[in-house]
Chain A
Amino acid sequence: MQAAEILTDEQYGKIINRLAHQIVEPYDDVASLALVGMQRRGVFLAKMLQERIHHFYNHKLPLGVLDVTFYRDDFRTKLKMPTVQVTEIPFDLTEKHVVLVDDVLYTGRTIRAAMDALMSFGRPASIKACCLIDRGHRELPIQADYTGMFVPTYQNEEIQVEVAGLDGINRVMVIQKESAET
C-alpha cells in the first residue's frame, strides 16, 4: 500500500478560503444561504466554510448535518446494515439556497441521496453541491457546483480526506490499494 499527500495543510486552507468566496459570490444576500454538511467529514468541512464565510462576510450561515444512509440505493450490497449517524437540520430550509458539502465526489450516489433527504425537510429555493475533491468515476449525471480540486484517479486508489476536528490534521492523501503486482 502506497500513500501520497496531495494536499498539505496550507494548500487545504487556501482552497477552503476560495470555496467560501465562491459559495457567497452568486448571491446578493448572503443571509439567503445555508450549509449542510454530509456525515462525517463533510460536516467538518462545512464548519470550516461557515467559519471562513463569517470571517469574510461577517455573517454566520445556518449549518445542518445530514446522514443519507436511509436514502442510499447501495446499502444492501454490504452484509451488515450500516450504523446511522446523526441528522440535524436546525433551521427551516424553505426558500433557502442550500449548499451541500461533502469531502469526496465519486459516483454521485451520495449527492443523489442527499437531495432526496433534504426534500423531506421542506422546499429549498435551490440546492448546490460543494466538494473538496472530485475524483471522477461518476455513475449518475451529477456534478459539483464548487470543487476544491480535481484529482483523476484509478478505481483501486482511495482518496483519504482528513480534517483537523477528527483526524488532528487537515490534509488529503491518495492511497494505492494492493493490486495484482508482478
Chain B
Amino acid sequence: MSTDYEFNHRHLLGLADYSAQDIQYVLSQADRFLEILNRPVPKIPTLRDKTIVNLFYENSTRTRLSFELAQKRMGADVVNFSSSSSSVSKGESLKDTIRNIESMKIDMVVVRHSSPGTAHFVARTVNAAILNAGDGAHEHPTQALLDMFTMRQKFGKVAGLKVVIIGDIAHSRVVRSNIIGLRKLGAEVIICGPKTLMPPSPDELGVTVSHDLEACLEWCDVAMALRIQMERQGQGLFPSLREYHERFGIKKRHLKEFPNFTIMHPGPVNRGVELESEVADSERSIILNQVTNGLAVRMAALYLLSGGQRI
C-alpha cells in the first residue's frame, strides 16, 4: 500500500463506493482488532465518546449481535432499535424516526432495512456516520468484508482466488457485495445455482454462471454456500428443498472427491439443504472463523468511520 494513501470515507454504505485500496486498508486494520479480541481484557476505550444506534427494521441475530459486541468492545454507548417493538408499529415514517434519533445526539447509525437504498437515504437525511447492515437485495458490505478477511487469513491474499458462490444469487445482498469486493481485489467468481435464482445480467457483475456444482467444486479454492430462504419455497423458484439439496447441496462425498476447496457460509446454515451437517462441521469449513472475524472487521469499520474531528 502506498504511503500517501488516505482513507477518505464518512460512511460505509456499500462496497461499490470503496476502491480496492480502501478495502485492503479496512482489512489490514481489522488485523489489529483481531489481536485485541485475543487479549485477556478484550476491550479498548476508543469509542467511549461515541453514541451509536443500531436501527434494525429487519430481523437479524448475528449481524446485530456482532455489531453490538463490536461497539461494546470499543466502549461506545449503544442503543438498539428494532421495528417490531417501536413507534414504527404506530405508523411513524423512517424519516421521522431517524430525525428524532438524531436529535438525541447520535454519532453513528447502523441500519438494516428491507428496501434497497435505505442506508443512502439515512446518510442524506442525518449528519451521523452511517454503516449499512443490509438494505434489501442491494448490499451488505460488512459481511463481504469479513468474508474477504477470512479468505485472506486462510490463503494469504484474495487476488487470484477462485471463488464459487452457490445458491440464491438473485435475492442476495451478501453476494452482490461479495462480487463487487472480490472482483476489485482480483478474485475470479463463478455463481452457481438453479436458473430461477440467477441474476438477470451476470456479465455486468463480471461473473460467470454455472449450473454444474461438481465442476465448480473441482475448479474452486473457496465454495461459499448461501442460505436458502425458506420463504422462497412455494414461490415456484425451485421444486423442493430436497431437490435443491440433490443438485446444489454440498455433500460429504464431495469432500473426498474434491480435496481442495474450503467451505464458507454467511449463516445461518440450513443443515441438510445447502450443506450436509458433516460438511458444515468438517475441518474444511471456516464458517466459525467468519463469525469471529466479523467482530474484528466491524470494529475496524467503526473505528475508521468514527471520524477525526467533529464537524
Contact = CB atoms under 8 A, between A and B. Distances in A.
Given A80-B6, A81-B7, A119-B41, A88 B308 contact: no
Contact of A121 (B29, B39, B44): B39
B309 interface: yes
A76 B45 contact: no
A179 interface: no
B308 A67 contact: no
A70 B308 contact: no
Interface in B35-60: 35-36, 39-46, 49
Interface in A75-89: 75-81, 83-88
Contacts of B39: 120-121
Contacts of B6: 80
Interface in A48-99: 67, 69-71, 75-81, 83-88
B44 A120 contact: yes
A114 B49 CA distance: 19
B256 interface: no
A67 B39 CA distance: 14
Interface residues of B, number: 24
Interface string B297-311: 000000110111110
Given A86-B32, A120-B39, A71 B308 contact: no
Contacts of B308: 75-81
A1 B39 CA distance: 44
Contacts, number: 55
A80 to B, nearest CB: 5
Interface residues of A, number: 22
Contacts of A87: 32, 35-36
A165 interface: no
Given A70-B74, A86-B32, A87-B36, 10 more contacts: A67-B32, A71-B46, A76-B310, A79-B308, A85-B32, A86-B35, A87-B32, A88-B35, A120-B39, A120-B40
6 contacts: A78-B308, A81-B7, A84-B32, A116-B45, A120-B39, A121-B40
Interface of B: 6-7, 29, 31-32, 35-36, 39-46, 49, 74, 303-304, 306-310
4 nearest A-B residue pairs (beta carbon):
A120-B41, A70-B44, A79-B308, A84-B32
Interface of A: 67, 69-71, 75-81, 83-88, 116, 119-122
